[in-house]
């Protein structure tokens, strides 16, 4: 049966792991998403672990949760899953506002923007992993 959730071994949850990630992590940036990553120090095998930070400024809970689901789904289907990284995805509140007028952007357009940024970051992480081997 296909697994459609993020397993425990792929979650970054311990305070010790977050502190390790804060010290000397590399950062990849796109317009609306930042990814802080570092080689995992206590992961069994070569499983990549992820965490997400979505500020309340991004919007109500249903919008924040939708973005987290998108991150999990793109991570689950990416090749980066077996690279041994700890990754923290941080979503920018600017994702929801138009560049010029400051008005709110519709949901479909916002999700397309977010997915493009996410795919760009995952691609950069894959390249970084291949270059590091």
Domains present along the chain, CATH in parentheses: 8-93+104-132 (3.30.230.10)
Q: At 112, is the secondary structure helix, strand, or coil?
A: helix
DSSP 8-state assignment for residue 106: P
Alpha-carbon distance of 70 to 27, in angstroms, equals 20
Name the pTM for this structure. 0.79
Q: At 83, is the secondary structure helix, strand, or coil?
A: coil
* pLDDT tens by residue, 78-102: 777 777 888 888 888 876 665 665 5
Is 63's pLDDT higher than 70? Answer: yes
């Amino acid at each position: 049966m296909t697994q459609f959730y993020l397993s425990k071994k792929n979650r970054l949850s311990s305070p010790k792991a977050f502190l390790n990630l804060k010290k000397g992590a590399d950062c990849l940036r796109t317009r609306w998403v930042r990814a802080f990553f570092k080689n995992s120090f206590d992961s069994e095998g070569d499983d990549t672990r992820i965490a997400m930070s979505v500020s309340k400024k991004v919007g109500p809970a249903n919008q924040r949760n939708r973005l987290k689901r998108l991150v999990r789904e793109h991570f689950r289907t990416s090749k980066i899953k077996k690279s041994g990284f700890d990754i923290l995805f941080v979503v920018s509140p600017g994702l929801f506002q138009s560049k010029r007028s400051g008005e709110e952007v519709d949901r479909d357009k916002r999700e397309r923007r977010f997915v493009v940024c996410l795919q760009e970051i995952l691609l950069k992480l894959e390249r970084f992993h291949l270059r590091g081997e």
